[in-house]
């Protein structure tokens, strides 16, 4: 069974994504803020998720800060992260995380776009 971590401060988004992925036989964990997410991500290898869906605008630590910590401490996890944001991604500054991260979705996004990113991560693993 594949494992997913959904990181978003909006409970409705977490619930909808949890239901979607559980119907597809995923084991799903949730975090409502950046500090809880980081604790879940840097746990033992046995609990590390196959895919992470992470909002950029979180209380505690931002999604960008989480990715920076992962890049420094667990770089293999960075390629498993799908970033989501309500911010405009088209005007992202060159070199920024929004401009360089391979898996990025602007809210609201459709589940088909999310599924394409999940499939790409799973194929690359």
pLDDT of the residue at 46: 59
Domain with 47 in it: 3-124
Q: How many helices (H) and strands (E) does the chain have?
A: 6, 5
Edge-first strand listing for the sheet containing 104-106:
27-31, 3-7, 51-55, 81-85, 104-106
- Count: domains in the chain: 1
CATH number of the domain at 64, please.
Answer: 3.40.50.2300
pLDDT of the residue at 44: 63
**Residue pLDDT, tens place only, 55-102:** 999 999 999 999 999 999 999 999 999 999 988 887 778 878 878 899
pLDDT of the residue at 31: 97
**Residue pLDDT, tens place only, 44-60:** 665 789 999 999 999 99
């Amino acid at each position: 069974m594949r494992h997913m971590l959904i990181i978003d401060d909006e409970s409705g988004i977490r619930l909808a994504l949890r239901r979607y992925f559980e119907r597809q036989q995923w084991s799903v964990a949730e975090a409502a803020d950046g500090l809880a997410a980081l604790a879940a991500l840097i746990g033992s290898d046995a609990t590390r998720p196959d895919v992470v869906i992470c909002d950029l605008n979180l209380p505690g630590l931002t999604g960008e800060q989480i990715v920076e910590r992962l890049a420094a401490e667990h770089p293999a996890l960075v390629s498993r992260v799908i970033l989501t944001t309500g911010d405009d991604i088209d005007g992202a500054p060159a070199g920024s995380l929004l401009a360089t991260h391979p898996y990025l979705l602007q809210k609201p996004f459709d589940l088909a776009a999310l599924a394409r990113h999940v499939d790409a991560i799973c194929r690359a693993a």
